[in-house]
Every structure is written in C-alpha cells, then in structure tokens.
C-alpha cells in the first residue's frame, strides 16, 4: 500500500467524519484547557476499558525492519467518559502482552498510571522466569525498542505542561505545550495539531533545546469503532536517528469488562488467554 | 643524437628571447588552467579546480576490497569516525569527579550538540539536514543510560548524569555507576577515575577540524581558573590537522628551502644575475607540474603536496652542473656563446641520462598499488623532464641575456691560480689523490659499511601511524599520549563476525517449512479444514513463485514474513488467527538464523574477548556480549555471579529487549545488525602503529585456528587503524618491487650509456651504497620505515646515480683526451668534482630548513635528501676512483 493511497483514504475518512460532526449550533470557542482535555480523553480514555492488538514495524534509516505484535488491555479507574468537570480523568492500568517476535513471545508488561504520583511498572521475562519491577522515574524511554516512548502508549500527564493555543484553522487547533519542569524531559516544547471535530491529534511535533524539530508523531488512519473515533494507524518518527515506527491497531474493542484482578503481578505470569486472541 | 643536441643548444643560444617566451607562456598557461577554475568555479566549470584530500584512507583506491568492506560495515553498524575529547583533573583528589569539572563536562556536551551545519550538498526534495556531530550517537555522561538496582527487586534505567551534580557525593556516585558498566569503564571513565572521555561521532570526518576549533574556543572561554585539562584527539582530527599544517609547510618550508639554495648558489657563483636562473627553472618546473596536476583533475594529497619539494632539488641539480662548469670555463675564452656550446657539449649526455634515470626511478612508483603514490611518481617524473628541458634551453638563453660586461669578473680567472687554490679545489685534489693511493682502504671501508648496512637493514621496522606524523610536543601527540595512558585506548579497530550461510537446497527447505506450518495447525486445531486448505494453498503459491527466481533462504523467509503481514492486513477476522499462527512458524524460522542470539556463539565471543585481553596493545574490547552480561546481571540482583550469558536464546532475546527499553535503543545496533546475522567486536588499542595492528591480527588468526567457532563463522577486520596497516603493507611491498624494477632499468640504461656491463655495474655502486647506508642507519637508529621513507627510496635512486653518471662520463671524456688514468683522475677532480661537490652542498644544505617543520614527514624528507646527496657525493668521489684504479685493466680495455 503506497503512501499516497493512505493519505487519500485518510482524507475521505475525514470528509465523511466531518458530516457527522457538523453541529448546527455555533458553539462558543473552547479554551485551550478544554481542547487538550478533550484530546486526552479521545486518545487515552474512551470507554471504561478497551483492548487492541498492535502490529509494530520499526524501520531504521537503512530501511531495515523489525516487527513486533502485542495486545494491549486498558482499564480506567473513572467510570465516566465525560470531559466536563474532568469526570473521565483518573488512574489507569495497562497490560501488554507480546506475541512476536517468537523469542520474546509471552513477555508481559504492566503499567499502573497514576495521576498524582510516579507510575508503577513491571515486566515479566518468561525465559528468565523473572518478574521485575521497573523504577519508572523516567517515562520517556523506548517502548520495546521502538520509537514510541512508554509515555506515548500510556499518555502524558497534562499537569506537567503549560498549553497555549497558537492558531485555530478550519480543521485544526494548533497548540503548544511547554514542560513546567524542563529538566525532566528531553524536549523544550511540542506542538499539537488537534483535529477540531474528533479531538484526535493528527500530528505532534517535538522540538529540542536548540529549537530543532526532532520527533514527529502522526495519526495516519482513523476509524469509528463502537461509536468511538479511534486511531487505527499511527507513526512515530525520530528525525535524529532516522528511525520510524508504524503501529497498526486491530481487533479494537471498547468496554469489555476487564476485571481489575487481571492488572496484577500475578497475571503477568499467567496471561488471560481469552483477551489475547 | 649529436646533431640534435647541437641544434637545440645553438637554438637556445641564438634565440634566447623565443626560448624564454615559450617557457613563460607554457608556465602561465599551466597555472591558469589550475587557478581559473579554483577561483571562479562557475565560469570555468569545464576545468578542474584545486581539490585537497588529507585522508590516509585514500592511500587505497576506493574500490579496494578492504575499503569497500569498511564502508559496508560502517553502514551496517551505524559507526562513524569520532573526535575524542579527554578531560583530566590531576589536582582534585577525586579527579574529574567533582561538581565543578562535571559541570564543564556537561556544558561542553551540550555545546557539542550544537556543532552542526547545513548540509553543503542537500538532496533536492528532502528536508534540510544538518551535518557535523551526530547527537544521538554521542558518548558523554549526560547522554548515556545507567542500568542499576533500585532496591526490592526493582531495576532502574536512568540517565547516568541527567544534570551536573550539586554535591561531591553525587559526583562520586556517577563515577561508581559508570565504572560498574563494562562498556563505559576504560572508555568513558578512566580506570583511575581521574579522567572522562567524550566521543563525538561525525557525519563526515571532514568536519573534524571545524569541530575541534569550536571546542577549543569554548574551552578557552572558560579561562584558566580551573584545574581541568582538555585534550582533543582522534584519527580524523589528526588527519585534518595534518592537512591544514601541510599547507603552511608548503607555503613556508618550500620557499625557505628555495631561499637557502639561492643563497648557497650566490655564495658559490658570486653573481646574483646568474644564480637567479636555476631558481627560475625550479619554479617554472614546479609550477607547471602542479598546474598540470590540478588541471588534469588530481587531488592534492599528503603525497602530492610534496611534489614541488621533490622537483626543486632535481631541477637545481642540472643547472648547478652547467653553472659550475661555466663558472670554471668562462674566463678561458670570455665568450658566452662558445663557452656555453662547449659546456653543453660536455654535459648534454650525462644530463640527459641523469634525467632519464631519475624519471625512471619516479615513474617506477606507478607500479605500486597505492594511487596517490602512483600519481606522485608520474608527476615528479614530468617535473624532472620539464626541469631538464628548461635547464638545457633556458639556462643558456638566460646567460645570453646577460651583457658580457657584467660577466667580466665571473668565474675563475684563468692563469691566476684561483681555480686551483680555492679551498674546495684543494680539498678535492687531495681527495682524488687519496682515493688513488688508499684505494684498498676505501674498498675495505666500503665493505665494512656494507656489513653495517646489512645489519641495519635487517633491523628495519616497517611501521606508520598518522598520529606520529606530528612532533612529540604537538598538542595532538600530547593528547594521544595522555589519553592512551588514562583510557583503554583511543585507536579503534573492529572485528566483524558473520555467519556463513549453510547451503541447503531451497526446494527441500521450502517443503520442510510447509510441513512445519501444517504440523502447527494440527496441534492447535484452529480453523476449518477448507479454510486451512485455502490459506495453505496461498502460501504454497507464494513460496513456489519465490523459489522459481532462486532467492536465498533468508530472502524467502523475509518475503513470507511481509506476505503474511499483508494477508493479515486484509484478512477476515476468521482467517486472521490462522494467518497469525503461520506467522508464528515463519517467525521462529526467521530467528533460527539469528546467530548472535545463540548463547553458544556469545560464549565463543566471550572467550575471544578474554583472549584479546592478553594482548598488551589491546586495552579493551567491547561487544554485544558485554551488553547482554551487564543487563542480565542488573535484571537479577546486580551480583557478580549473574554477570554472565544466559543459557538460552529466548533469555538472550529478552535481556536485549529489556536493554532496548532505554533512552538509546539504537546503541545495540553498533554491535549487531538488527537481523542478528552480523556482529562486531570493537577493540580499543593504545597504539595506532601498524605493527601493533599486525600483532593483534596475527593473534586473532591464531585464536580462530586453535579454537574453531561452534558454527561456520567468518571474521574480517575493519576500522581506520586496520586500513592504515593494510595500505602500509601494500606500499612497502609495492615500493620494494618498484625499487627493484627501476634498479634493473637504471642498470640497463647505464650499460647502454657506457656500452659496457662493467661500467654499468660500476655506476650502480654509489647508488647501492647510499641506499644501503641510509636504510642501514634507519634500521640502526630505530626510525620506522614509513611512507616518506619509502617514497624517498625513489628519490635516492634518481639522485645518487646522477653523481656517478657525471663522474664516470667525464672520466671517460678525459681519458680519451689524456690516455692514462692518473692524469684523467686529476682532471676529473677539477671541474667535474667541483660541480658534484657544489651540488651536494647546495641541495643537501638547502633542504635542512625542512627540519624546522612541525610535521615529521617533512623533517624526514629534509634529513633524507641531505643524507642521500652527501652519501652519494662521497660514494661517487671516493669509491668510484678507488674502484676504477683497481679495475683499470678491465675498464679501459673494455671501453675500446
């Protein structure tokens, strides 16, 4: 499938979607906080729980590919999807099961994302028969060797940045995020291009301390699944290494009643087969 | 020949204006050809501009297999040439590990990140890219991860130095963490904890000088109010610095040598207006040669930068013979024209032959396998030819321009005895007598010298190291010494390991593969029979298609992998599970050839690395194994007993994927390719000497012979240190052949000139002796036989034969006149001997200013040219007469 074709498809989806979302009432302009909260909800908090199978292709600057496939399960602490009053916002738990490559198959990760304290993270290495807790002082490290960071998978805490709305176009909000603690991250700011209807960030660009753009995240494909606008293909490109990771989401499901028990150390060793098919 | 030479000489004497005009026009033309496109490249795009290249890699042709392999491996492992910045603090009790020093290290690291420039050759349509320091591959405390225990079964991946430490305690903890990581200890941090090294990989090594300059400026801006020493080194820096300083040398040393030669000429011939002429010939020959050199699209390399320096003495050499003889003869007739015709008549033949032999000596370099040496040889030969041509035409023409009035007091006035009474003449006369009377002593002395020479030659050490092209006191040498003392070594060389694919017929392999897929389907019981059949049919079709075009096993697997990926993309959800299962089988198959996840292979590499430690020049080696062992240890409790390679493949893979959950997952690919089929061991050598590289090579070869790897594994070296050793070896062998070849050619030419093998042999003696003498001395004093020395062999061949030709041909001319040897000897020790002596002094001493150059190759050239000329002069003036005296009977009879 060539790039052009993809863009075309993406564009068509955009057009179709825009019909659904055109509102007859002219709403009053949203504040920047409302926009980022809505965006955060749209990407990380839709439904009370969810699952997706992710196929990952990591391509380096020489075109050499590495592939991974994993299933991600998510469960939110909050019951609501409501952005108003930040009812949706709460702690979350993620369970990641690696299917392939074969030699890391059955590796599992557990992430407890906390809003008010450091996350907790565990990994299970079946070949070493070892569950290891990972002191996650820094969430901006590679996720399974890809160009995505842990934080890109679980979502960055909005409390850590200050946002300003730079521009509003026909389709997009352009928002700049600046970290409150610049020493804690490798970027000096990032710019989000958020779709006005779906609130999905179409592009996120990261800039380093010398104001060079060095990292780009893109939503490449969006589908409506069980009424939720869902990114089903996304990429992350590291301009410094020339490496790029494309993630394809399949078997996406929402509100699947995942038991909180699943997200415990015990289940790292005993993956819940029925959710992983 | 006789009439041709007469015509040429008469023409020069009769039409001096035309000769001069022709010379000027041709020189200006050659200069313009080179200068115009260099200054206005756009206007003169059809011409070749000046191009400079100081990269020793180019001593080998770019198609040379070792270089092709080097480039391939550099790409495969994303390796770059590096600038190394060493930071040392000898004053603080904890060395560099104190807040003040680490703050500077941090600041310098941040600064180095900014050392990028827009790509001078942007690719159209691509976003602008920046070249220079490659930030993501930089090695510095603030940019690396530390993997460590975080208490209660927790492991922590964190920046080693996220910010400069505030307290002494924090500073020490950075040291302890770094020293616990084998990849960093001895590489980033010195064993004694007194020093840190920052490594700055470059997108292209040509940025090294810019980077070095910028770093130095930054360091200077801190003033001297701290106890930190900064040293900047690395092979690219040495090479670039050499290139820059080379041009200073071309601009300072060469003119300085010319000036000294000029003053000596003035001293000997006393007439300013006359001694200018050899200078003009030397200038014209050098400039024309360099003009043609550039215009024909050649690059100025370390070798070719020396072309003018080689042409100059040779150009002056012939002129000195003419002037010397003219000086001695002129007053006899006081007629320029007749004196010139007489002098040129004497000298034409010997000068032609000295020129031809010199040209043969240099042209022989064309047969070495080193491209820069080839062009060097050809162009020096061209310069020598030009020098000869303008010497025999322009020098007489020039003398004709000088009014006779001005020559009134030029030269030895006949009859006043000055010719016989000058110090030079008296010494030479005695020398002549001495060689006649003490011939046995001289022969004995010659034999003794020969023995000493052979002893010395046996001790010759063939070695080179671009860092040693600088003087001991040069900052680059100092940095080299200091850093190699503190760290495991700044010279990097790499051993590439690759699995040799085992050949199984593709058909059998494909059949086996299908069988595995079906077996797996049976076990799992997934899918309906019809559904499975349809899917399996698709797979078989895909396989058959590929097998037809005869791909490798690996290619087939990779193809199937993408094919299945595509099927999954488009499959109905019912089929998806079946496809995923097929993918699992293919996946497992793919990983079978991932050799460097196999503990058995990793153990073998570990053994090899242990062995490497026993070689003294190897400071340290780094490989995938070190990563695996370190991460495995920290995944457990960080204890020494877990510092090992895990027992199975999956454990290795899971350890590595844990390592990649870091800030720098790409670091792994410097040691192994993502397909795990190629790996490399990086060796840090404390010396860049080719000899040391050869020792390591030999040792590894023995290891592989004595300890065959568990599977077919090929190994091959790459890296700059290795490449330097390869061209060095090639050059020495090539030079030896070229020298032997031209030795024979010169002998044949001599036998032809004298129409006698015996005379030919005789003429080879001074040359053989001076070569033997020089190499003997080089061997005895322990000077390495390096690139400049090797190239100077050709020069010695060309120069040393000159004096013999002059001496012998003049002897024969005089013998024809006098009919007996003693009288002939007296005559030869007058003008001809004076010409030879003046020559040796002028040119030999003239090159001594090169000794003041800060670049060792230039010093070597200075010393060797002087020694060659002096030893050849002495050999010609002592050994030849002694031998002729001994062999009179045979010599004079055989020459009719």
B653–A contact, CB cutoff 8 A:
yes
Which range has the top average pLDDT, A114-118, A172-176, A258-262, B455-459?
A172-176
A22–B contact, CB cutoff 8 A:
no
Residue B451: both structure tokens together: 């023995």
Residues of B in contact with A60 (CB under 8 A): 666, 669, 674
pLDDT tens digits along B16-70? 888 888 899 998 888 888 888 877 777 777 777 777 777 778 888 888 899 999 9
Residue A10: predicted pLDDT: 55
Residues of B in contact with A104 (CB under 8 A): 650, 653-654, 657
Q: What percent of chain B has pLDDT over 90?
A: 30
B152–A contact, CB cutoff 8 A:
yes
CB contact under 8 A, A183 and B163: yes
pLDDT > 80? residue B876: yes
A30–B contact, CB cutoff 8 A:
no
pLDDT tens digits along A129-168? 999 988 866 788 999 999 999 999 889 999 999 999 999 9
Strands (E), chain A: 49-59, 65-76, 92-100, 108-113, 120-125, 130-135, 161-168, 172-179, 189-195, 201-207, 213-225, 228-238, 243-254
Residue B234 is classified by DSSP as -
Average pLDDT value for residue range A160-184: 93
CA distance to partner chain B, nearest, from residue A53 (Å):
12
A112–B contact, CB cutoff 8 A:
no
CB contact under 8 A, B153 and A133: yes
pLDDT tens digits along B734-762? 887 888 888 888 899 889 888 889 999 99
Domains of chain A in start order, with CATH, are 46-275 (2.50.20.10)
Distance CA B788, CA A53 (A): 65
B166–A contact, CB cutoff 8 A:
no
Residue A247 is classified by DSSP as E
Residue B660: which of A57, A144, A183 has the nearest Cβ?
A: A144
Buried b (16+ CB within 10 A) or exposed e, A11-35: eebeeebeeeeeeeeeeeebebeeb
pLDDT > 60? residue B89: yes
Residue B5: predicted pLDDT: 67
DSSP letter for each residue of B722-781: HHHHHHHHHHHHHHHHHHHHHHHHHHHHHHHHHT-HHHHHHHHHHHHHHHHHHHHHHHHH
Calculate the average pLDDT of chain B.
86
Residue B155: which of A65, A134, A141 has the nearest Cβ?
A: A134
Residue A128: which of B597, B654, B675 has the nearest Cβ?
A: B654
Residue B724: both structure tokens together: 């330097």
Of residues B537, B546, B558, the one with CA closest to residue B510: B546
B366: exposed, middle or buried (Cβ count in 10 Å: 0-12, 13-18, 19+): middle
- Most B CBs within 10 A among A127, A151, A152, A239, hence the mutation to make, goes to A127
Average pLDDT value for residue range B247-254: 76
Residues of A in contact with B110 (CB under 8 A): 209
The answer to whether the beta carbons of residues B404 and B273 sit under 8 Å apart is no
pLDDT > 60? residue B260: yes
Residue B3: predicted pLDDT: 60
Which range has the top average pLDDT, A177-181, B426-430, B768-772?
A177-181
Residue B334: predicted pLDDT: 80
Buried b (16+ CB within 10 A) or exposed e, B634-653: bbbeeeeeeebbbeebbbbb
Place of tokens 């930040």: A86
Residue B382: predicted pLDDT: 94
Average pLDDT value for residue range B859-866: 82
Check residues B632 and B320 and name the one with the higher pLDDT. Answer: B632
Residues of A in contact with B673 (CB under 8 A): 64
Residue A123: which of B565, B658, B673 has the nearest Cβ?
A: B658
CA distance to partner chain A, nearest, from residue B128 (Å):
11
pLDDT > 70? residue B127: no
A138–B contact, CB cutoff 8 A:
yes
Minimal-distance CA residue of chain B relative to A108? B654
**Neighbouring C-alpha atoms within 13 Å toward the C-beta of B461:** 13
Check residues B124 and A106 and name the one with the higher pLDDT. Answer: A106
Distance CA B807, CA B825 (A): 10
CB contact under 8 A, A135 and B162: no
At residue A224, the 3 state secondary structure works out as: strand
**In chain B, count of helices (H) and strands (E)?**
30, 13
Residue A178: both structure tokens together: 């600046």
CB contact under 8 A, A277 and B577: yes
Distance CA B606, CA B624 (A): 9
Residue B650: predicted pLDDT: 92
CB contact under 8 A, A102 and B646: no
A144–B contact, CB cutoff 8 A:
yes
The answer to whether the beta carbons of residues B630 and B182 sit under 8 Å apart is yes
pLDDT > 50? residue B896: no
CB contact under 8 A, A145 and B665: yes
3-state SS string over B493-534?
EEEEEEECCCCCCHHHHHHHHHHHHHHHHHHHCCCCHHHHHH
CA distance to partner chain A, nearest, from residue B88 (Å):
27
Beta-carbon contacts below 8 Å between A and B: 134
Which range has the top average pLDDT, B34-48, B358-372, B793-807?
B358-372
Q: Residues 65 to 84 of A: which have CB under 8 A from any B CB? A: 65-67, 69
Place of tokens 């969430």: A139
Q: Using CA of residue B859, residue B862, residue B865, residue B869, what is the dihedral sign?
A: negative
**Other CB atoms closer than 10 Å to residue B8's CB: what's the count?**
17
Residue A258 is classified by DSSP as -
CB contact under 8 A, A134 and B154: yes
pLDDT > 60? residue A8: no
Radius of gyration of chain A measured on its C-alpha atoms: 19
Minimal-distance CA residue of chain A relative to B137? A241
CB contact under 8 A, B654 and A125: yes
B459–A contact, CB cutoff 8 A:
no
A269–B contact, CB cutoff 8 A:
no
Residue B113: both structure tokens together: 């990140």
A3–B contact, CB cutoff 8 A:
no
- ipTM score assigned to the predicted complex: 0.88
CA distance to partner chain A, nearest, from residue B137 (Å):
9
Minimal-distance CA residue of chain B relative to A248? B569
Calculate the average pLDDT of chain A.
88
Residues of A in contact with B661 (CB under 8 A): 123, 134, 141-145, 150
Beta strands B154-159; A130-135: pairing state = parallel
B136–A contact, CB cutoff 8 A:
yes
Residue B77: both structure tokens together: 């492992």
Minimal-distance CA residue of chain B relative to A65? B674
Check residues B659 and B788 and name the one with the higher pLDDT. Answer: B659
**Other CB atoms closer than 10 Å to residue A162's CB: what's the count?**
12
Give B778-781 contacts, CB < 8 A, sequence gap 24+.
B778/B456, B778/B460, B779/B455, B779/B456, B779/B457, B779/B458, B779/B459, B779/B460, B779/B461, B780/B452, B780/B455, B780/B456, B780/B459
Residues in chain A: 277
Residues of B in contact with A1 (CB under 8 A): 569
A165–B contact, CB cutoff 8 A:
no
Partners of A217 in the beta sheet? A204, A236
């Amino acid at each position: 499938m060539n790039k052009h074709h993809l863009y075309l498809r993406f564009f068509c989806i955009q057009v179709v979607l825009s019909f659904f979302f055109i509102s007859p009432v002219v709403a009053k302009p949203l504040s920047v906080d409302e926009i980022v909260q809505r965006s955060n909800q749209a990407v990380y908090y839709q439904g009370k729980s969810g699952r997706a199978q992710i196929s990952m292709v990591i391509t380096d600057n020489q075109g050499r590919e590495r592939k991974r496939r994993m299933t991600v399960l998510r469960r939110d602490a909050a019951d609501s999807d409501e952005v108003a009053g930040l009812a949706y916002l709460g702690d979350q738990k993620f369970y990641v099961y690696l299917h392939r490559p074969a030699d890391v198959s059955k590796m599992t990760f557990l992430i407890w994302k906390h809003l008010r304290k450091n996350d907790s993270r565990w990994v299970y290495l079946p070949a070493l028969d070892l569950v290891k807790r990972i002191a996650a002082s820094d969430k901006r490290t590679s996720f399974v060797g890809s160009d995505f960071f842990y934080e890109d998978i679980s979502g960055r805490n909005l409390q850590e940045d200050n946002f300003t709305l730079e521009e509003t176009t026909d389709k997009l909000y352009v928002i700049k995020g600046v970290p409150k603690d610049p020493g804690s991250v490798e970027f000096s700011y990032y710019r989000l291009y958020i779709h006005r209807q779906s609130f999905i960030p179409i592009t996120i660009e990261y800039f380093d301390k010398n104001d060079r753009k060095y990292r780009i995240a893109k939503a490449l494909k969006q589908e409506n699944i069980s009424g939720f606008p869902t990114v089903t293909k996304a990429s992350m490109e590291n301009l410094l290494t020339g490496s790029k990771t494309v993630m394809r989401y399949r078997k996406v499901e929402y509100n699947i009643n995942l038991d909180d028990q699943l997200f415990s150390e015990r289940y790292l060793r005993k993956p819940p087969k029925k959710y992983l098919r | 020949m006789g009439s041709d030479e007469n015509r040429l000489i008469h023409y020069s004497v009769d039409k001096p204006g035309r000769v001069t005009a022709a010379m000027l026009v041709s020189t200006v033309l050659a200069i313009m050809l080179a200068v115009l496109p260099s200054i206005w490249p756009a206007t003169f795009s059809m011409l070749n501009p000046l191009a400079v290249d100081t990269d020793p890699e180019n001593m080998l042709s770019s198609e040379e297999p070792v270089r092709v392999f080097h480039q391939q491996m550099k790409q495969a492992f994303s390796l770059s040439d590096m600038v190394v910045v060493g930071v040392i603090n000898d004053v603080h009790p904890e060395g560099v590990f104190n807040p003040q020093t680490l703050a500077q290290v941090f600041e310098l690291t941040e600064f180095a990140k900014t050392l990028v420039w827009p790509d001078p050759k942007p690719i159209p349509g691509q976003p602008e890219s920046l070249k220079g320091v490659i930030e993501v591959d930089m090695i510095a405390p603030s940019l690396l991860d530390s993997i460590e225990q975080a208490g209660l079964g927790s492991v922590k991946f964190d920046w080693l130095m996220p910010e400069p430490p505030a307290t002494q305690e924090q500073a020490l903890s950075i040291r302890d963490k770094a020293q616990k990581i084998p990849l960093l200890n001895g590489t980033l941090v010195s064993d004694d904890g007194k020093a840190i090294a920052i490594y700055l990989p470059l997108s292209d090594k040509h940025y090294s000088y810019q980077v070095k300059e910028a770093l130095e400026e930054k360091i200077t801006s801190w003033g001297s109010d701290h106890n930190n020493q900064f040293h900047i080194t690395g092979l690219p820096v040495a090479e670039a610095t050499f290139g820059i300083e080379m041009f200073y040398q071309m601009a300072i040393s060469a003119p300085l040598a010319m000036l000294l030669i000029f003053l000596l000429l003035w001293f000997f011939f006393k007439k300013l207006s006359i001694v200018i002429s050899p200078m003009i010939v030397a200038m014209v020959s050098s400039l024309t040669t360099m003009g043609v050199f550039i215009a024909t699209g050649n690059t100025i390399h370390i070798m070719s930068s020396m072309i003018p320096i080689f042409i100059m003495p040779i150009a002056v050499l012939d002129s000195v013979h003419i002037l010397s003889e003219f000086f001695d003869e002129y007053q006899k007739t006081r007629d320029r024209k007749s004196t010139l015709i007489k002098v040129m008549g004497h000298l034409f033949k010997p000068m032609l032959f000295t020129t031809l032999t010199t040209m043969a000596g240099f042209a022989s370099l064309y047969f070495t396998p080193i491209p820069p040496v080839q062009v060097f040889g050809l162009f020096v030969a061209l310069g020598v030819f030009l020098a000869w041509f303008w010497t025999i035409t322009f020098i007489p023409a020039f003398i004709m321009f000088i009014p006779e009035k001005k020559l009134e007091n030029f030269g030895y006035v006949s009859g006043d005895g000055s010719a016989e009474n000058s110090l030079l003449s008296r010494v030479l006369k005695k020398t002549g007598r001495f060689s006649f009377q003490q011939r046995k002593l001289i022969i004995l002395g010659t034999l003794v010298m020969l023995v000493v020479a052979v002893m010395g030659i046996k001790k010759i050490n063939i070695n080179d190291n671009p860092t040693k092209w600088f003087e001991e006191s040069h900052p680059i040498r100092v940095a080299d010494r200091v850093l190699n003392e503190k760290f495991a070594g700044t010279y990097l060389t790499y051993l590439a390991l690759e699995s040799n694919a085992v050949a199984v017929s593709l058909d059998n392999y494909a059949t086996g593969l299908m069988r595995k897929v079906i077996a797996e389907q049976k076990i799992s019981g997934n899918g309906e029979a019809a559904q499975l059949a349809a899917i399996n049919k698709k797979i078989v079709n895909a396989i058959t298609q590929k097998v037809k075009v005869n791909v490798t096993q690996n290619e087939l697997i990779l193809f199937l992998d993408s094919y299945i990926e595509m099927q999954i993309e488009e499959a109905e959800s019912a089929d998806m599970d079946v496809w995923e299962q097929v993918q699992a089988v293919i996946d497992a198959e793919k990983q079978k050839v991932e050799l460097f996840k196999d503990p058995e292979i990793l153990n073998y590499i570990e053994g090899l690395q242990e062995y490497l430690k026993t070689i003294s020049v190897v400071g340290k080696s780094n490989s995938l194994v070190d990563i695996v062992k370190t991460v495995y240890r920290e995944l457990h409790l960080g204890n020494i007993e877990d510092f090992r390679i895990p027992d199975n493949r999956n454990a290795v893979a899971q350890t590595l994927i844990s390592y990649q959950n870091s800030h720098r997952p790409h670091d792994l690919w410097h040691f192994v390719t993502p397909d795990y089929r190629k790996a490399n061991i990086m060796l840090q050598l404390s010396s860049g000497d080719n000899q040391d590289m050869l020792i390591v090579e030999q040792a590894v070869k023995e290891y592989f012979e004595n300890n065959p790897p568990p599977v077919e594994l090929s190994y091959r070296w790459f890296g700059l240190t290795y490449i330097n050793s390869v061209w060095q070896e090639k050059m020495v062998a090539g030079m030896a052949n070229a020298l032997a070849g031209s030795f024979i050619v010169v002998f044949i030419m001599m036998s032809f000139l004298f129409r006698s093998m015996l005379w030919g042999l005789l003429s080879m003696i001074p040359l053989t002796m001076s070569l033997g003498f020089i190499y003997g001395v080089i061997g005895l004093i322990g000077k390495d036989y390096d690139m400049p020395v090797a190239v100077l062999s050709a020069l010695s061949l060309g120069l040393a034969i000159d004096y013999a030709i002059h001496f012998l041909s003049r002897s024969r001319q005089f013998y024809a006149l006098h009919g007996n040897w003693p009288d002939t000897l007296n005559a030869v020790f007058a003008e001809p001997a004076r010409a030879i002596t003046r020559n040796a002094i002028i040119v030999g001493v003239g090159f001594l200013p090169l000794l003041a150059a800060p670049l060792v190759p230039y010093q070597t050239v200075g010393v060797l040219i002087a020694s060659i000329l002096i030893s050849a002069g002495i050999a010609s003036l002592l050994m030849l007469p002694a031998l002729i005296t001994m062999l009179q009977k045979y010599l004079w009879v055989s020459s009719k």
